[in-house]
Amino acid sequence: MYCRPLLAAVLLVASLVTVGARGGGLDPASLRVVDLSHAFDERTLYWPTAPSRFTLEQLSSGVTEGGWFYAANRFAAPEHGGTHLDAPLHFAAGRSAVDAIPVERLVAPAVVIDVAKEAAEVPEYALTLERVRAFESRHGAIPVSSVVLLHTGWDRFWPDPAAYLGDDTPGDASKLRFPSYGAEAARFLVEERGVAGLGVDTASLDVGSSSDFPVHRIAARRDVYGLENLASLGELPPRGATLVALPMKIKGGSGAPLRAVALIEK
């Protein structure tokens, strides 16, 4: 018998497979692809206390002695910054590191809760359980092994640190202000709905002023990963998109840079 996450992944893949004129297989023409990641460059945002930022050093760029063009670079970056994945290990000893997260949990149905209106009125809006229940009343119960993506609209401020983080004081994370999940809502999604991951278009699964990170801890204890600094969530429907969230596979990593996309049937 399949375990629930594996069964969900099998059903997901089956739903994407179409029969074309030249035989079975995934038909890219039937899908719209939405890029959910910010590019990494010298302006990429990191937590104010991060010891460094993203750097890209050119090693080679030009025509070789053999007459062909060749380019190569070297990059360096902390695990947590830009569009990235938080592994459960980030906030729970003994839980999954980046490389140990089953890949079928990284390809999953996306459930998008839109709180952009609330966040515009209350910059530190925290998703409530009441708001989650209202979403389910309209769109149905959030399925097991799906990934909930919280659309706050904050990606419009990227990469302005003062607007996006609420404060741009170097080395000081005590003045940050931005919306995200509330602990009660997160606990319900993780413990009652059994989601595979939580994602948001802000810098943290917890609201900016949080100093004890309850949402991170609630998710990590259940081996649920987090996706932070996502982009373009406003382009996704509440239900029906498929998330593909593939981080750099860092062995033992507590997090990793992420390229995330959503697949939507046209």
**DSSP letters of the chain?**
---HHHHHHHHHHHHHEEEETTEEEE-GGGEEEEE--PPPSTT--B-TT-S---EEEEEEEEE-TTS-EEEEEEEE--SSBSSEEE-GGGTSTTS--GGGS-GGGTEEEEEEEE-HHHHHH-TT-EE-HHHHHHHHHHH-PPPTT-EEEEE-SGGGGTT-HHHHHS---TT--TT----EE-HHHHHIIIIIS--SEEEESSS-SB-TT-SS-HHHHHHHHTT-EEEES---GGGS-SSSEEEEEEE---TT-SEEEEEEEEEEE-
Q: Which one from 80, 84, 90, 216 is the annotated catalytic residue?
A: 90
Show Cβ contacts of residue 18 under 8 Å, excluding neighbours closer than 6 positions.
24, 25, 26, 27, 30
* Residue 38 is among the residues annotated as catalytic for this protein: no
Token duo for residue 197: 């991951």
Report, as residue numbers or ranges, the catalytic residues.
90
